[in-house]
Structure 1
């Protein structure tokens, strides 16, 4: 006999017969009809090639083979029941869980200071690591559980992933305080085109669409510096007359520390939707659900994506 031939419900009925010893009582206990119980017993007898229970004046008495099956069957059903009904719990106050989150250098600048402060307050033993979204095969790493969450503008994460919109933002023009463009409420396209620019080529993040839009609209820039990430932009702008096109939340994070100013971008660049992503395999993981809720609570705006 193979396990594929056994209906688990038959074992439930078998176990109840061991307890109640009467077909009518088993039917009442399990909410079944008496013919249904009798039919199940007949199927079990055929599968085991044993009568299993014999009618006596005291009820259905188990055969020696049924008695042999009683203890392992009860143990197996108990294990299955416990596994199905147990839900893993997560207590942030005592957990030592280590999480890995995929994000860009913009994300590290904008999200990590407040997020780590809140983690230290509510989950002092929890640790966090980040990986650059472009440095790993994010889809494979998240599916395998090596990366728990990802934050950003990540159009490549589609089938199999959940996402929650955190916020939308605009692009802005950023430059040092006392720059020739500083103090204006808005910058014209002519002023934008005449300035010297630093351009960030951030492959795989979706931010390249801003450059594509400017090229498509034939909005000229004098690009004198190109860098592969945003992390140095604050330092570069602070000590130069260069102008950068950056997301608004990054500008907010850099303005005070690097004494920078920013204005709404003169080109009507499309808004950016920054989302939180997680793989469907881990949708009900209580620890990951906790971290999701924490991030959404701090940074979330509006409804789901």
Structure 2
């Protein structure tokens, strides 16, 4: 027999009769008349080819076939009931799930250490997975559930997405400790004449640094160009190159790579860093909890704590 051949209400009536063993009680519980219950039972008997219940002292008595059917039907109804009425409240200590974050290599350095430290204490069963927000169709993957949250400068995420501004990322100059630039204030001339390590991170908002410098006609001595930020600390540590990098990345690299940082002698626009999620997970309690953790760890307290829906492109 196919499931399409049977009415779910008939199975619910069967389950109630197994519990109550009285037609009158089931009729009252299901807001039906006693003849209505009898007619429904007759339909189920024809479908299943068994009497299911026979008259007995004070009510009805299940047949052997009905007794064999009782537990599977009860379990199936319980599963449906749980699915349609999920338990409210997300308990991070008991949660067991994998959450995928879209971020750049900078994001992995800036956000993951503190975030993992927090999850180890409060949500040990939550596993994080990251994808490059430039290496996938991020909007599409967030819409279909393959990526849960994204952090960064992501102007491409428009209609269907919510966002919360975390902070405005400013840029600083980074170089090794003992570098000649440490000896005096960093002037535009000294900064321009130094040899630069330039990161051309295609597809990320950090490309606006290069665009801003070009618009202003600021020329530098570029000695090395790399496509990502992961090698910056290693290279600066052993050379006299300098780099213009996001401040929060510089703070993470300075101590382990023995680097120094200072303000730039040129004015560059700050990069607005957002936490973004698709409207499909707006009400998901686990996603909401993690959004709160990210905001608590990284949001600038001077920024208004509110999420807004991104405008359509």
Are 1:154 and 1:204, in contact at CA under 8 Å, matched by a contact in 2?
A: no
Shift of 1:66: 8.8
Q: Which residue of 1 aligns with 2:138?
A: 138
* 1:175 has 2:147 as partner: no
Offset at residue 300 of structure 1 (A): 1.4
* Counterpart in the other structure of 2:12: none
Kindly indicate whether residue 256 of structure 2 is the aligned counterpart of residue 284 of structure 1: no
Give the Å deviation of 1:169: 2.2
Structure 1: gaps spanning 5 or more residues: 1-17, 21-25, 27-52, 54-60
* Alpha carbons 1:163, 1:278 under 8 Å: kept: yes
Q: Does 1:300 align with 2:299?
A: yes
> In 2, distance between residues paired with 1:161 and 1:199?
32
Aligned to 1:158: 158
- C-alpha distance in 1 between matches for 2:107 and 2:281: 22
| Equivalent residue number for residue 104 of structure 1 | 104
Q: How far, CA to CA, are the matches of 2:195 and 2:131 in structure 1?
A: 32
Cα deviation, 1:117-170, whole Å, max 9, x if unaligned, reads 111011112211111111111111111111111111111111111111111121
Q: 1:232-277: CA deviations, max 9, x gaps?
A: 1011111111110101000111111111111111111001111111
1:243 aligns with 2:215: no
Gap regions ≥5 residues in structure 2: 1-26, 45-73, 308-313
Partner of 1:44: none
> What's the offset of the Cα at 1:210?
0.7
Q: Give 1:88 deviation, angstroms.
A: 4.6
Deviation at 1:68, TM superposition (A): 2.3
Match of 1:68 in 2: 40
Question: CA 1:82–1:66 in structure 2 vs 1: closer, same or farther (change >3 Å)?
Answer: farther
Cα distance between partner residues in 2 of 1:231 and 1:80: 49
Cα distance in structure 2, aligned partners of 1:189 and 1:274: 27
Shift in alpha-carbon separation, 1:168–1:196, aligned structure 2, 3 A: same
**C-alpha distance in 1, partners of 2:234/2:79?**
60
Superposition pairs of residues 1-305 of structure 1, within 5 angstroms: 19=28, 64=36, 68=40, 86=86, 88-184=88-184, 186-301=185-300, 302-303=303-304, 304=306
- Match of 1:155, SS? coil
Moved over 2 A (4+): 61-69, 78-90
How many Å separate the matches in 2 of 1:237 and 1:123?
37
Residues 100-126 of structure 1 deviation map (CA, whole Å, 9 limit, x = unaligned): 111111111111111111110111122
CA distance in 2, matches of 1:183, 1:112: 34
TM-score (norm 2): 0.72
Distance 1:153 1:183, change over 3 A: farther
SS at match of 1:294: helix
CA distance in 1, matches of 2:126, 2:37: 52
Equivalent in the alignment of 1:36: none
CA RMSD of aligned residues (A): 2.9
